[in-house]
Structure 1
Amino acid sequence: MAKKYVRENVPLSRFGVLVAQLESIVASSSQQPPDALLCFDLLSDLISAIDEEPKESILLWQRKCEDALYSLLILGARRPVRHLASVAMARIISKGDTISIYSRASTLQGFLSDGKRSEPQRLAGAAQCLGELYRLFGRRITSGLLETTIIATKLMKFHEEFVRLEALHMLQNALEGSGGSAASSAYSEAFRLIMRFAVGDKSFIVRIAAARCLRAFANIGGPGLGAGEFDNSASYCVKVLDDPVSSVRDAFAEALGALVALGMNPEAQVQPKGKGHVTPTKKLEGGLQRYLVLPFVKASGVRLKNIRIGLTFSWVFFLQAIRLKYLHPDSELQNFALQIMDMLRADSSVDAQALACVLYILRVGVTDQMTEPTQRSFLVLLGKQLQSPDLSPFMAVAALRTLSYTLKTLGESVRVAFVLFRSHWNSRKFLIIQLLQQCLILHSLCQQENKGR
């Protein structure tokens, strides 16, 4: 009674006014459906008001706001409106009394479990809101992950594309929010859903969402994934790289890079709770050769170029994960550089596009991630590679181009260029002349800068 008295006797804040307006719209929905534009503007103002409002005022209106947002979602709001309503729901719980996260998540799960096929918009709105709650509070509601995964499986059987899409967005948020701390059965069911229903969906945007779910699995440590699951998912990612839709190829290329990076780092692999027999984590032996090197070398067919470009992106995502997520020293990138150049060893199956792909990997994935001392030692490694007797012509071109790019990045002296000039003049004339020109220009710029000082 005291709290109610206080609410009724204090002046309405901006936040309170907006909540009252939202309640009015929801209450009159039986006579007149809510206007989408009006709801969009109101929810935008509501979100900004939540950020600006003190917690004391939020607590006075939190339950009323949550109820109004929930009612708006299950009325069947369209995607822009339900997105804002979901964000507002998560924001107000985060800033106010967070204990309500349990009841709200349970209510949404109950609505989704009992939902009918004739209510696609309502179910999509509830799924989007539940996904947003998992994104912010996933570790607090991990006990509901299995039920959420079962709900996602149910929604994947709907004919409406947007319902299947929201189901996978919800699943992705739930996986990332849980962080690998839920029960083993939840992750097993989620992986089965992705590989059985999602990756082969007829809609390309749903396939993209499925790829992002696979990437989410890798990002949280692949809970419950054994050698068979790793091989199944990575092999499928390679297979999809000839998909006619470029955005689908890009999404699965990123997922492939993340999966291979996780497989190469067994210490980051997660064993979920509730597993009867814990299988020790194991490094994915030969993963680079099996999923990144051999598919690139053996690529053929009408979509040959698409496959190579997809694998190029996978290489870059893999190398970036190695450095940024798993924190390997940048000196290890040199070892990967040799494996990358080795993809050009078979001259019969190499062309200009393959060379361009390898150069892109060496620049973006290797050189650009190196610190200056490592780049200097990388120059020495490239010089030694150029002296190798079994160096193929395309490998030599790749080494020279990469050396040129690294020199340009470092601003190194011309001495290195003259060493190459003496030892490789006859076979690499054009490229070495270009290298010399770049070094002389850099040398001239350095002299001008010194004079200016």
Structure 2
Amino acid sequence: MELAHSLLLNEEACNQLGEVQKAEFIFDWLRYLEKLLLATSRSDVKEKQKTLVEQLLSLLNSSPGPPTRKLLAKNLGILYGIGDTFSVYETIDKCNDLIRSKDDSPSYLPTKLAAVVCLGSLYKKLGRILSNTFTETVGNILKAMKSAESQGRYEIMLSLQNILKGLGAAATPCHRDIYKAARSCLTDRSMAVRCAAAKCLFELQNEASFMWSTDLDSVATLCFKSFEGSNYDVRISVSKLLGTVLAKAIISKHPGAAASRQSIRRVSLEEVLELLGTGFLRGSSGFLRASGDMLKGTSSVSRDVRVGITQVRITNAVMCDGNLETRLGSTDVAASQHMLVCALQELGNLIHGLGTTAAPLLQDSSAGILDSVISVILHPSISVRLTAAWCLHCIAVALPSYLTPLLDHCLERLTVLKSSPEAVTGFSFAVAALLGAVKHCPLGIPHGKGKIILTLAEDLLCSASQNSRLSAQRTQAGWLLIAALMTLGPAVVSHHLARVLLLWKCVFPVSPKDLETEKSRGDSFTWQVTLEGRAGALCAIKSFVSHCGDLLTEEVIQRLLPPLPCAVDLLTR
């Protein structure tokens, strides 16, 4: 493949290859070209630009697959961004001609898709330089979408997103046409098309004020419909779109100039919340058909709508009480768990983004956000507990003053509630997540915390065999705490290394003879706990090597190595 590493495509070498090898050769060249163009002087690029453009355009007719067409489009954008733009209009005409072609055969489809992707890349890179051609291009792309299958609609939506991104306000004449096309795609049967349409509309709302003024009700209704039968990616994309549009409706200022914008009405927070509330109450695409359904758990509305709307209403979802499953109905427990996970994820992102300005939000006793997050650590669903721990990590990173108090609280709860499987798992997740936040907090945590954490980990590991109901959870938790402790670095771990090395030694068979002996003992449960312990120990060793390299002396390495062959040998039997 060294022959592919040149500014121009080595056509002689390429033509001597078989079909599969040729496609691989071209892909490798395009991948290398992306890096080479950025490192080559402008004069050298201009010197070979004409030939390079011809070679790139010729690849449009070679039925390029998705990865190849993305690289092809990106390289064209980079090339024209560095070199001359004289021939860019010919390139755009070439792409438009390919899209206009009446050839609807499956073999020609990749060529059309590649042309669509190239147009998006060119307009994104060159922006307003191409403003006198975009009306024709957008019209051509929208016309092609009427007969396009799902893959075509997907690429067209992403291409329109790039065109809008590149042109900014200059694309105003086509805003309505793009809006109409994207509306239909937002409820497309293909989830990928819905995601792409949401991204296109999100880009459109930056300049299209009608989306958060005159058409606000329509946009909200459309987003509610998009949640029907959707997947996680669609809900994330659409909720981001809806949340941004609603926020703009509240904070937008009257322009005072521009007569065309003087009709913009500023919407109050109460009106926006009322509009959002209709997603819970209205029609077949609402959150609930009637308020009584929520209490009785008889709502037949899609769980995807509930989850999607909840992702927009982050605060209300996170601060819901512990009876969410009851209020949704026992038959929809999975939906309630998904709602909590989504809400916690969004809350973590929100607080992480706000940084120290999030302090009043957490200090508000009436909201009780922090207490709600901590209470969710005991949730029956392990995914909810894990997400709650991650949310605490975000809080600690955003507000370092909360790190030590949260760590103390979680350690205390873990000690007191170590007879509860949910508490052992949940609070060990939380402690590990908070320890992972220490490196992001300049002041760190008190030095003595390391000893407390290691003592608790040892206690969990030693008491794992005392209660079979908790053996697996305590084993997992103990090793998780030790692995997390390693992230504090050599300064902390050096004081406890002897104790940790002893734990590692005890969990593995010392010799092949010991391995053969233990194979004849135990049942499936004891083996599950044993393997859980060895997996945790190996993770802790990996964490130690990654974060405490300075402690890897010859003596330590010699003490670490003997048990490992036996552990590997067990996997091969």
Correspondence for 2:485 = none
Distance, in Å, in 1 between the alignment partners of 2:82 and 2:254 is: 32
Match of 2:224 among 238, 250, 260: 238
Correspondence for 1:191 = 179
2:197 maps to a residue whose letter is A
Kept in 2: contact 1:69–1:85 (CA 8 A): yes
Alignment of 1:175-190 (within 5 A): 175-184=164-173, 186-190=174-178
Correspondence for 2:244 = 258
Kept in 2: contact 1:296–1:343 (CA 8 A): no
1:295 aligns with 2:279: yes
Could you tell me how far 1:69 is from its partner in structure 2?
0.8
Distance, in Å, in 2 between the alignment partners of 1:148 and 1:100 is: 16
Alignment of 1:309-320 (within 5 A): 309-315=307-313
Kept in 2: contact 1:128–1:170 (CA 8 A): yes
Helix, strand or coil: the match of 1:225?
helix
Distance, in Å, in 1 between the alignment partners of 2:448 and 2:168 is: 54
Match of 1:131 among 116, 120, 125: 120
Could you tell me how far 1:88 is from its partner in structure 2?
1.5
1:122 aligns with 2:111: yes
2:246 maps to a residue whose letter is V
- Show structure 2 runs of 5+ residues with no match: 289-298, 377-387, 410-425, 436-444, 452-490, 492-573
Question: Once the two structures are superposed, what CA deviation does each residue of 1:165-200 show, in whole Å capped at 9, x if it has no partner?
Answer: 22222111111221232233x11111111123x223
CA distance change for structure 1 residues 349 and 368 in 2, over 3 Å: closer, same or farther?
Answer: same
- Give the paired residue count: 378
Correspondence for 1:320 = none
- Show structure 1 runs of 5+ residues with no match: 1-13, 317-336, 387-394, 418-433
Q: TM-score if structure 1 supplies the norm length? A: 0.67
1:57 aligns with 2:57: no
Correspondence for 1:104 = 91
Alignment of 1:27-106 (within 5 A): 35-106=22-93
Kept in 2: contact 1:260–1:287 (CA 8 A): no
Distance, in Å, in 1 between the alignment partners of 2:21 and 2:136 is: 31
Could you tell me how far 1:137 is from its partner in structure 2?
1.5
CA distance change for structure 1 residues 62 and 263 in 2, over 3 Å: closer, same or farther?
Answer: same
Please identify the structure whose Cα radius of gyration is greater.
Answer: 2
Correspondence for 1:162 = 151
Correspondence for 2:8 = 19
Kept in 2: contact 1:74–1:122 (CA 8 A): yes
Kept in 2: contact 1:385–1:399 (CA 8 A): no
2:72 maps to a residue whose letter is A
Percentage of identical aligned residues:
19
Distance, in Å, in 1 between the alignment partners of 2:341 and 2:287 is: 13
CA distance change for structure 1 residues 215 and 268 in 2, over 3 Å: closer, same or farther?
Answer: farther
Distance, in Å, in 1 between the alignment partners of 2:346 and 2:67 is: 41
Could you tell me how far 1:130 is from its partner in structure 2?
0.7
Kept in 1: contact 2:279–2:287 (CA 8 A): yes
1:248 maps to a residue whose letter is V
Distance, in Å, in 2 between the alignment partners of 1:411 and 1:16 is: 50
Alignment of 1:320-331 (within 5 A): none
Distance, in Å, in 2 between the alignment partners of 1:102 and 1:91 is: 15
Correspondence for 2:422 = none
Work out which structure has the larger RCO, using CA pairs closer than 8 Å and 6 or more positions apart in sequence.
1
Correspondence for 1:307 = 305
1:360 aligns with 2:348: no
Question: Once the two structures are superposed, what CA deviation does each residue of 1:68-94 show, in whole Å capped at 9, x if it has no partner?
Answer: 111211343332222222121111111
Could you tell me how far 1:128 is from its partner in structure 2?
1.0
Distance, in Å, in 2 between the alignment partners of 1:120 and 1:65 is: 24
CA distance change for structure 1 residues 102 and 24 in 2, over 3 Å: closer, same or farther?
Answer: farther
Could you tell me how far 1:289 is from its partner in structure 2?
1.2
CA distance change for structure 1 residues 293 and 358 in 2, over 3 Å: closer, same or farther?
Answer: farther
Match of 1:171 among 160, 164, 179: 160
Helix, strand or coil: the match of 1:264?
helix
Could you tell me how far 1:132 is from its partner in structure 2?
0.9
1:176 maps to a residue whose letter is K
Q: Please report the RMSD computed on the Cα atoms of aligned residues, expressed in angstroms.
A: 4.7
1:58 maps to a residue whose letter is V
Distance, in Å, in 1 between the alignment partners of 2:46 and 2:327 is: 67
Q: TM-score if structure 2 supplies the norm length? A: 0.54
Kept in 2: contact 1:15–1:49 (CA 8 A): no
1:221 aligns with 2:207: yes
Distance, in Å, in 1 between the alignment partners of 2:320 and 2:134 is: 42
